[in-house]
């Protein structure tokens, strides 16, 4: 099927603004260089991604018809996106009937303003947070801090990132780039500044480090009045929100405080409660490589006498409708943030998550970020090229997002946007190549030049260094030496007799 | 100026809405009814695989099992929901504390909690609580460090979709659900699995026959 990439993103619906953290970031190759030079991070990432991909493969193999589940997951998400306005209204009606208050936010600023106002109305000066990509995307922690509210991340990895004044580098395990001794240093240096200090004599055993986090966060859980979460799924026909987690920090945040505020991207909606049966099989196996994650909480508005009695839901657009308008790109909104594509990606494994200049790293980030934010900045322009197009990401995606196809379409968009101005060196080279390939006489002449030059190499199999501008390529790679003879030359030497006709004997098959 | 709600709904309609009503998603039903004994065995195996302790007993043996479990764990204060069958805790030697609206600080002084469940899922080794009746509110089975969960054999279903369909009435009644698969755990440091972070560090499941 032929893709019509020129359709991609030609719509007037607003994009997401690039947040202050990522403004002015250089292009991906520049960002990736720092990751490539960081040998500790590369070792950590290699170990982590290989471990998790083996676990995923083992539990996916246990399912008798995984492909049928993937098709089901993709079809369910497509159905939700095909009738999104209707399902959102149904979700709102059911949430309201169950005692929750629903808010709508066109963009990150509006969502942050709503959340900050809700927190301030309670009089609380701190909130506990469940790990949430949506709140990272809108930089809610920064907005709360600016309003004088402390936001405590409670997921262990998020805590490591927050205490380390760092940025997340993976969707599921945001501190994947840190090893145990780095985590120990961070805990010893930073915990005492914001609450209970790490115990003296803390070792770098993961069990000890988890125990330190338990003790540090417990006082925060027990006194918290307000919690902020995202959601994995929002069920339209019941008004139910669903959060999957492992540590119990989610249960603490969703149960103990009096007020609960959840930021929900509009693409998180599932049409019916029964749809959860599919996604509760797809997500844990794809994400952590478990048959089921330790804890999943679902809540439907307010349950009298059990958990928060003041429940708010903020439905967030922030560029999602812009993506929805594109017939091909829309499938990226199926994403359930499992991170399986990161764990199999050869580029992510080496460059690391920070190089992607967004809270969404890896292959899904390379297609989602330029769609949400557009392709006007150096980093966003370069993201569609941050891939070898090997296709492993599509193979593991539980909702069958064709990431390679989207990358190619986005590349076309970036190239099309460059048309009309001064030609780049690459464009000039492509034009020259096209002229040579356009006529067989020109091709034969060019080939004769190349094979003649091969004789100068005196049998060396590779060329180490090419002259400028090809040196940009040869700096990191050996180029194969040109052949002494092309196929055409060989054919005419061995198969064409003096009369010009092909000889009768073919080569043995 | 239109409200954010109207504007977002308008943006969606401008962006994309398929024609016609949504078609129901067709999902293949499990081919054959699975053998009950095998389903229960799978439930035990999968629950144990995620490092929960699983025991099987009869209804008559249950009170003795519960008492021995909390005693072995040296739990002195045992929390229970108000609606727990009183025979279940009859043989406990320690102090039994009924959750009649305990504060979070009071919950923090409890060593172990005994509850029932709503459904068990064999394929994944999962227990689901809807926090009605003998399961107590969510905080009760969260703050204490040990959770003794009694599951009746009749509550165990084979797979996730069957469990989800069966939970619909609880959700329609606006009840919160907690799905539990083994004790609290993290793999955030070098992907090395550590049991016991914020939720109960010990999950003890008792599967009761003939009930």
C-alpha distance from B141 to closest chain A C-alpha (Å): 10
In angstroms, rounded to a whole number, what is the distance separating the alpha carbons of residues B43 and B34? Answer: 13
Question: How many residues are given for chain A?
Answer: 509
Q: Give per-residue pLDDT as tens, A11-20.
A: 889 999 988 8
Q: Is-contact A273 B171, C-beta < 8 A?
A: yes
Say which range, A30-44, A479-493, B174-188, has the weakest mean pLDDT: A479-493
Structure-token pair, residue A190: 């930073």
Q: Examine residue B152 and state whether it is found in any structural domain, yes or no.
A: yes
The answer to whether the beta carbons of residues A375 and A323 sit under 8 Å apart is: no
The domain ranges of chain A are 83-318, 439-495
Q: How many CA atoms does the CB half-sphere of B198 hold within 13 Å?
A: 26
Per the CB < 8 Å rule, is B23 touching A79? Answer: yes
Residue B25 domain flag? no
Specify the number of domains making up chain B.
1
| Residue B200 C-alpha, separation from nearest chain A C-alpha, in angstroms | 8
pLDDT tens digits, one per residue of A34-62: 999 999 999 999 999 999 999 999 999 99
**How many beta-carbon pairs under 8 angstroms link A with B?**
249
Q: What is the pLDDT of residue A5?
A: 41
A 350-389 residues with CB below 8 A of B?
A: none
- Does residue A508 carry a pLDDT above 50? no
Structure tokens that stand for A396 in this block: 């593991």
Kindly state whether A263 is in contact with chain B, defined as any CB-CB distance less than 8 angstroms.
Answer: no
Subunit contact B164:A299, Cβ cutoff 8 A:
no
CATH architecture observed for domain A83-318: 3-Layer(aba) Sandwich (3.40)
Residue in A36, A95, A81 with CA at minimum distance from that of residue A351: A36
Q: According to the model, what pLDDT value does residue A383 have?
A: 97
Question: B42 pLDDT exceeds 90?
Answer: yes
Pick A214's closest partner by Cβ from B17, B179, B198.
B198
Mean pLDDT for chain B overall: 94
At residue A228, the pLDDT reads 98
- Taking CB atoms and an 8 Å cutoff, what residues of chain B touch A288? 187
Q: Would you tell me how many other CB atoms lie within 10 Å of the CB of residue A240? A: 26
Give the Cα separation of A227 and A255 in Å (integer).
Answer: 9
The length of chain B is: 211
Q: Which of A247, A249, A263, A279 to mutate to test the interface with B (most CBs of B within 10 A)?
A: A247
Contact B11 A317 (CB under 8 A): yes
pLDDT tens digits for range A226-280: 999 999 999 999 999 999 999 999 999 999 999 999 999 999 999 999 999 999 9
Range of the domain at B159: 34-184+195-209
Contact list in A for residue B184 (CB cut-off 8 A) is: 246-248, 294-295
Cα A254 to Cα A113, A154, A161, A303, B197: the distances in Å are 22, 12, 22, 12, 16
Q: Confirm whether B27 is domain-assigned.
A: no
Rounded to whole angstroms, the Cα distance separating A83 from A366 reads 26
Q: What share of chain B is helix, strand, coil (3-state, %, to 5)?
A: 30, 25, 45
Nearest-by-Cβ selection for B177 from A298, A302, A324: A298
Residue A323 has pLDDT above 70, yes or no: yes
Lowest mean pLDDT among A23-27, A402-406, B154-158: A23-27
Other beta carbons within 10 Å of B104: 17
pLDDT (tens digit, 9 = 90+) per residue, A119-139? 999 999 999 999 999 999 999
Q: Confidence class of residue A111 from pLDDT cuts 50, 70 and 90?
A: very high
Residue B175 pLDDT more than 80?
yes
First to last CA, chain A: 35
Q: pLDDT for B23-40, tens place per residue?
A: 888 887 765 688 999 999
> What's the predicted TM-score (pTM) here?
0.91
Confidence band (pLDDT; 50, 70, 90) for A500?
Answer: low
Q: Tell which of B11, B52, B115, B131 to mutate to test the A interface (max A CBs under 10 Å).
A: B11
In a domain, residue B8? The reply is no
Nearest to A277 among B138, B161, B179 (CB): B161
Contact between chains at A98 and B174 (C-beta distance less than 8 A): yes
CATH number at residue B153: 3.40.50.10420
The pLDDT of residue A459 is above 90: no
Q: Per-residue pLDDT for A21 more than 90? A: no
ipTM (interface pTM)? 0.96
- Kindly report, residue by residue over A231-242, the tens digit of the pLDDT: 999 999 999 999
Given a cut of 80, whether residue A509 has pLDDT beyond it is no
- Chain A environment of B194 (Cβ under 8 Å): 206-207, 210
Contacts of B137 in chain A (CB under 8 A): 305-307
| % residues pLDDT > 90 (chain A) | 77
Distance (Å) from the alpha carbon of A449 to chain B's nearest alpha carbon: 54
Strand partners, B147: B113, B203
Residues 6+ apart with CB under 8 A from A60: A66, A285, A286
Which segment, A190-204, A493-507, B183-197, is predicted with the most confidence on average? A190-204
Q: Does A83 touch chain B (CB under 8 A)?
A: yes
Identify the helix (H) or strand (E) that includes residue B149: strand B146-152
A306 touches chain B (CB under 8 A): yes
CB < 8 Å from B in window 319-338 of A: 321-322, 324-325, 327, 330
CA closest to A282 among chain B residues: B160
Question: Higher pLDDT residue, A317 or A504?
Answer: A317
Spatial separation of the C-alpha atoms in residues B188 and A154, rounded to whole Å: 12
A8 and B CB contact within 8 Å? no
| Phi, psi for residue B82 in degrees, rounded to 5 | -60, -30
- Look over chain A and give the mean of its residue pLDDT values, rounded to a whole number: 92
What is residue A504's DSSP assignment? S
Q: Is A134 on the interface with B (CB under 8 A)?
A: no
For residue A44, give the nearest of A153, A154, A202, A181 by alpha carbon.
A181
Mean pLDDT is lowest, of A192-201, A321-330, A479-488, for A479-488
Q: Are A254 and A247 in contact (CB under 8 A)?
A: no
B14 within a domain of the structure (yes/no): no
The pLDDT assigned to A423 comes to 76
For A222, phi then psi, to 5°, come to -70, -25
Residue A81 forms contact with B (CB below 8 Å): yes
Q: Is the pLDDT of residue A318 over 90?
A: yes
Q: Is A238 on the interface with B (CB under 8 A)?
A: yes
More confident position, B128 or A463: B128
Sign of CA dihedral A340, A341, A342, A346: positive
Q: What's the pLDDT score for residue B26?
A: 81
Candidates B5, B12, B124, B143: best to mutate against A (most CBs of A within 10 A) is B12
pLDDT for B19 beyond 60: yes
Chain A partners of B179 at a C-beta cutoff of 8 Å? 280, 292, 295-298
Flag whether B120 is in a domain: yes
In this structure, is residue B1 part of a structural domain?
Answer: no
Three-state helix/strand/coil letters over B176-208: CEEEECCCCEECCCCCCCEECCCCCCEEEEEEE
Q: Which residue of A has its CA nearest to B165?
A: A274
Distance from CA of B60 to the nearest CA of A (A): 30
Burial A361-379 (b: 16+ CB within 10 A, else e): bbbbbbbbbbbbbbbebeb
Instruction: Report the gap between the CA of A248 and the closest CA in chain B (Å).
Output: 4
Cβ separation of A246 and B186 shorter than 8 Å? yes
Q: What is the pLDDT of residue A2?
A: 40
């Amino acid at each position: 099927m032929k893709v019509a990439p020129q359709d991609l993103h030609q719509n007037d619906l607003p994009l997401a603004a690039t947040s202050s953290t990522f403004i002015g970031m250089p292009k991906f190759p520049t960002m990736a260089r720092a990751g490539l030079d960081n040998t500790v991070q590369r070792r950590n990432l290699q170990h982590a991604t290989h471990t998790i991909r083996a676990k995923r493969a083992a539990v996916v193999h246990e399912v008798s018809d995984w492909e049928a589940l993937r098709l089901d997951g993709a079809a369910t998400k497509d159905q939700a996106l095909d009738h999104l306005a209707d399902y959102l209204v149904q979700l709102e009606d059911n949430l309201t009937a169950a005692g929750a208050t629903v808010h709508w936010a066109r963009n990150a600023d509006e969502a942050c303003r709503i959340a900050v106002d809700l927190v301030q109305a309670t009089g609380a000066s701190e909130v506990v947070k469940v790990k949430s990509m949506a709140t990272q995307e809108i930089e809610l922690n920064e907005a709360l801090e600016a309003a004088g509210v402390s936001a405590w991340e409670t997921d262990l990895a998020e805590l490591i990132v927050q205490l380390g004044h760092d940025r997340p580098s993976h969707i599921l395990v945001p501190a994947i780039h840190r090893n145990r001794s780095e985590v120990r240093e961070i805990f010893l240096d930073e915990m005492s500044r914001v609450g209970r200090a790490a115990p003296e004599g803390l070792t770098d055993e993961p069990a000890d480090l988890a125990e330190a986090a338990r003790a540090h966060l417990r006082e925060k859980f027990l006194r918290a009045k307000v919690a902020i979460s995202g959601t994995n799924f929002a069920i339209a026909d019941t008004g139910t929100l669903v959060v999957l987690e492992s540590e119990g920090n989610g249960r603490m945040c969703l149960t103990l405080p009096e007020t609960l505020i959840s930021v929900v991207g509009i693409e998180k909606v599932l049409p019916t409660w029964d749809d959860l049966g599919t996604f509760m099989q797809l997500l844990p196996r794809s994400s952590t490589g478990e048959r089921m994650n330790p804890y999943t909480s679902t809540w439907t508005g307010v349950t009298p006498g059990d958990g928060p009695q003041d429940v708010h839901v903020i439905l967030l657009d922030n560029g999602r409708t812009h993506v929805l308008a594109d017939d091909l790109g829309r499938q990226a909104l199926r994403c359930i943030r499992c991170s399986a594509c990161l764990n199999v990606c050869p580029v992510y494994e080496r460059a690391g998550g920070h190089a992607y200049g967004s809270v969404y790293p890896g292959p899904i980030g390379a297609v989602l970020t330029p769609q949400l934010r557009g392709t006007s900045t150096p980093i966003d322009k370069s993201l569609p090229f941050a891939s070898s197009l090997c296709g492993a990401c599509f193979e593991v995606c539980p909702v069958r997002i064709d990431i390679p196809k989207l990358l190619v379409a986005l590349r076309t968009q970036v190239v099309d946007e460059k048309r009309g101005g001064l030609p780049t060196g690459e464009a000039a080279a492509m034009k020259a190549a096209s002229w040579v390939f356009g006529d067989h006489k020109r091709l034969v002449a060019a080939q004769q030049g190349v094979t003649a030059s091969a004789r100068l190499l005196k049998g060396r199999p590779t060329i180490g260094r090419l002259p400028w501008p090809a040196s940009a390529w040869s700096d990191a790679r050996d180029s194969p030496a040109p052949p002494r003879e092309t196929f055409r030359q060989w054919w005419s030497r061995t198969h064409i007799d003096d009369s010009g006709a092909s000889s009768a004997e073919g080569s043995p098959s | 100026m239109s409200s954010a709600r109207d504007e977002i709904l308008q943006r969606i309609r401008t962006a994309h809405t398929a024609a016609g009503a949504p078609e129901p998603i067709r999902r293949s039903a499990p081919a054959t009814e699975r053998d009950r004994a095998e389903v229960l065995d799978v439930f035990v195996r999968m629950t144990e695989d995620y490092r929960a302790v699983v025991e099987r007993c009869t209804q008559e043996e249950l009170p003795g099992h519960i008492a021995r479990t909390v005693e072995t764990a040296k739990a002195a204060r045992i929390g229970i929901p108000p609606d727990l069958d009183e025979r279940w805790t009859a043989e406990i030697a320690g102090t039994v504390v009924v959750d009649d609206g305990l504060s979070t600080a009071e919950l923090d002084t409890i060593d172990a909690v005994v509850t029932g469940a709503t459904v068990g899922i064999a394929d994944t080794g999962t227990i689901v609580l809807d926090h009605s009746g003998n399961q107590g509110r969510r905080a009760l089975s969260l703050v204490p460090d040990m959770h003794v969960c009694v599951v009746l054999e009749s509550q165990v279903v084979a797979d996730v979709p069957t469990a989800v369909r069966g939970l619909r009435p609880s959700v329609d009644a606006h009840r919160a659900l907690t799905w539990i698969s083994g004790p609290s755990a993290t793999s955030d440091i070098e992907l090395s699995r550590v049991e016991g972070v914020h939720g109960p560090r010990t999950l003890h499941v008792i599967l009761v026959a003939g009930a």
